[in-house]
Amino acid sequence: MSKVVKRANQPYTINLKSTGSRLKKNYIGWLFILIATAGICIFYFYPMVQALLLSFQSGMGANLEYVGLDNYVRLFKDPTFIAALRNTFIYLLIQVPLMIILALFLSVLLNNATLKFKGFFRTAIFLPCVTSLVAYAVLFKYLFGEKGLINQFLLNLSIISQPLNWLSDPLLAKITIIIAITWRWTGYNMIFYLSALQNIDKSMYEAAEIDGASSLQQFFYITVPMLKPIILFTSIISTIGTLQIFDEIMNITNGGPGNATLSISMYIYNLSFEYSPDFGYAATVSYVIVILVVLLSLIQFKVAGDKK
Question: How far, in Å, CA of 128 to CA of 113, rounded?
Answer: 25
Question: How far, in Å, CA of 34 to CA of 70, rounded?
Answer: 39
> Which stretch in 42-50, 67-75, 78-86, 202-210 sits in contact with other proteins by CB under 8 A?
42-50
Q: Tell which positions 9-28 bind other proteins, by CB under 8 A.
A: 25-26, 28
Q: Applying CB under 8 A, does 279 fall inside the site for other proteins?
A: yes
Task: For residue 112, count other CB atoms closer than 10 A to its CB.
Answer: 9
Smallest distance from the beta carbon of 251 to other proteins, in angstroms? 6
Smallest distance from the beta carbon of 252 to other proteins, in angstroms? 9
Judged by CB under 8 A, the number of residues near other proteins is: 89
Q: Applying CB under 8 A, does 160 fall inside the site for other proteins?
A: no
Q: Which of 5, 13, 15, 46 binds other proteins (CB under 8 A)?
A: 46
Q: Applying CB under 8 A, does 294 fall inside the site for other proteins?
A: yes
Q: Which of 75, 177, 243, 262 binds other proteins (CB under 8 A)?
A: 243
- Residue in 305, 114, 97, 71 with CA at minimum distance from that of residue 185: 97
- On whether the CB atoms of residues 106 and 192 are closer than 8 A, the answer is no
Task: For residue 147, count other CB atoms closer than 10 A to its CB.
Answer: 8
Smallest distance from the beta carbon of 7 to other proteins, in angstroms? 12
- Residue in 96, 100, 296 with CA at minimum distance from that of residue 177: 96
Q: Which of 14, 110, 175, 200 binds other proteins (CB under 8 A)?
A: 110
Residue 289 φ then ψ, to 5°? -65, -45
